[in-house]
Amino acid sequence: MSGPAVVYWVETSERAGEEELAVAARRAFAAAGLGSRVRGLTAVKSHFGERGGKGFVPPRVIREVVELVRAAGGTPFLTDTTTLYTGRRTNALDYGALVLEHGFTPEAVGAPFLCADGLVGANETEVPIEGVHHRSVALAADALRASSAVIVSHATGHLATGFGATIKNIGMGLASRRGKLRQHSRLRPEVVADRCIGCEDCLPNCATGAIGPDARRTGKTPVMAIDAERCTGCGECLASCRQDAIRFDWKVGSRQLQEAMAEHALGWVRRMAGRFGCLTFVAHVTKNCDCMGRREAPLCPDVGVLAGTDPVAIDQAVCDLLRERNGRTLEAMSFPKLDGSVQLAHGERIGLGTRRYELVRVG
Ligand code: SF4
Ligand code: SF4
């Protein structure tokens, strides 16, 4: 059995401002020696916020990370992937515009934004793994083409996983649309008939021809239906429908979702071994994740910035610090019926990392 992982912690004040977080990020990055992992085209993977949201790691801090990457000899670019749900991040163009609206302009942060999974989430690479649920995971291709990466995560509660930070930022955040669907749902989409306006925007995007006018309906305007036998669950129709008329059943169990998420993270971590580092912000910790697109008050005082190279160890340290500081777990403060430690236990089981860590406080 290998020894514990080292996790570096720079403590901040209880309501850290952007400048304080930027300084903490610089110190954590240096203490963990993350610069030694940087080379060539370097992805700075973060979540740049859903419209109306506030809790995401801000441009001032991302600029600091970009400067650190450049100083270490890398050529940084900001990256993330498109989403399954209907919002402002469903395709690369809308997400690119939102990134600029949120202040992550090349002038402000010093690097451009590139969606790692392409225009509609289909730029993907299948990576074989030895997981419990998956033998192969579908990941954003350009997140694997980068020479190195800095994973910039924001710890929050989550309505389906209870807790989300580094593992989620990699496992869900670097999965292609197909990879996200595999994690979220084993079911096929359905058309919500009273929302479908018959525009047919979805048709050219369905590679298998599974979606088409519902022959059982005889009205003037066609309403789409999906042939479950031909549907692969790729989610292309979800991205192309602007009427929110395509729905998936998200009622997949939290345990299965967390385990699948850890397995997708494993695929990326294995491919990028020795070429990535993690900075995880335990500040402005909210009940919901940054996908929610609304301003939420923090649940608890800020803890600071954690750095290291083992996503399981970092997330374990995040959970422990939050529990010690608040006398109860993050899930108890947000979604008490969920247990976010499933992703940690499964991550350790499949070799993503270790829950045993040595916490080095950076003075
Ligand atoms: S894109 Fe949406 S609204 Fe248009 S036909 Fe397809 S399902 Fe109906
Ligand atoms: S999920 Fe993919 S295969 Fe299924 S109907 Fe939608 S576009 Fe077609």
- Cα distance between residue 348 and residue 337, in whole Å: 23
Ligand nearest to the backbone CA of 192: 1
Q: Which residues contact 214 (CB under 8 A, 6 or more apart)?
A: 191, 193, 222, 223, 224, 225
Residue with tokens 């190279």: 309
Going by the DSSP 8-state scheme, the letter that residue 175 receives in this structure is B
CA 199 – ligand 1 centroid, Å: 5
Does the structure show a pLDDT above 70 at 121? yes
In a 10 Å sphere around its CB, with 0-12 CB exposed, 13-18 middle and 19+ buried, how is residue 317 labelled? buried
Residues of the chain with pLDDT > 70, as a percent, come to 96
Ranked by mean pLDDT, the top range of 175-179, 219-223, 271-275 is 271-275
Q: Are 83 and 89 in contact (CB under 8 A)?
A: yes
Q: Where are the chain's structural domains?
A: 5-183+253-361, 188-247
What pLDDT, on the 0 to 100 scale, is given for residue 86?
65
Q: Tell me the pLDDT band of 187, cut-offs 50, 70 and 90.
A: low
At 142, list the tokens: 């350009």
Distance 141 CA to ligand 1 centre (A): 28
> Distance between CA 61 and CA 67 in Å, rounded?
10
User: Rounded distance, CA 27 to CA 25, Å?
Assistant: 5
Per-residue three-class SS string for 240-306:
HCCCCCEECCCCCCHHHHHHHHHHHHHHHHHHCCCCEEEEEEECCCCCCCHHHCCCCCCCCCCCEEE
**Alpha carbon separation from 71 to 68, 109, 300 (Å, rounded):** 5, 14, 34
- Mean pLDDT to the nearest integer, 65-87: 92
Distance CA 308, CA 315 (A): 10
What is the token pair recorded at 170?
């990699």
Lowest mean pLDDT among 27-31, 69-73, 217-221: 217-221
- Using one digit for the tens of pLDDT, what is the confidence trace for 102-115? 999 999 999 999 99
Please choose from 90, 195, 243 the residue to mutate so as to test ligand 1's pocket, defined by most ligand atoms within 8 A of CB. 243
Coil, strand, or helix at residue 58?
coil
90 or 10, greater pLDDT: 10
| Cα(262)–Cα(264) distance, integer angstroms | 5
200 lines ligand 1 (CB under 6 A): yes
Say how many Å lie between the CA of residue 271 and the centre of ligand 2.
29
Please give the number of the atom of ligand 2 that sits closest to the Cα of 240: 7
Per-residue pLDDT tens over the stretch 305-363: 999 999 999 999 999 999 999 999 999 999 898 899 999 999 999 999 999 999 999 98
Predicted confidence (pLDDT) per residue in 232-244, tens digit: 766 778 778 889 8
CATH annotation of 188-247: 3.30.70.20
Q: Give the separation between CA 174 and CA 153, rounded to whole angstroms.
A: 12
What topology does CATH give the domain 5-183+253-361? Answer: Rossmann fold (3.40.50)
d(CA 338, CA 319): 14
- The sign of the dihedral angle between the CA atoms of 96, 63, 69, 170 is negative
Our mutation pick for probing the ligand 1 site, out of 190, 194, 197, counting the most ligand atoms within 8 A of Cβ, is: 197
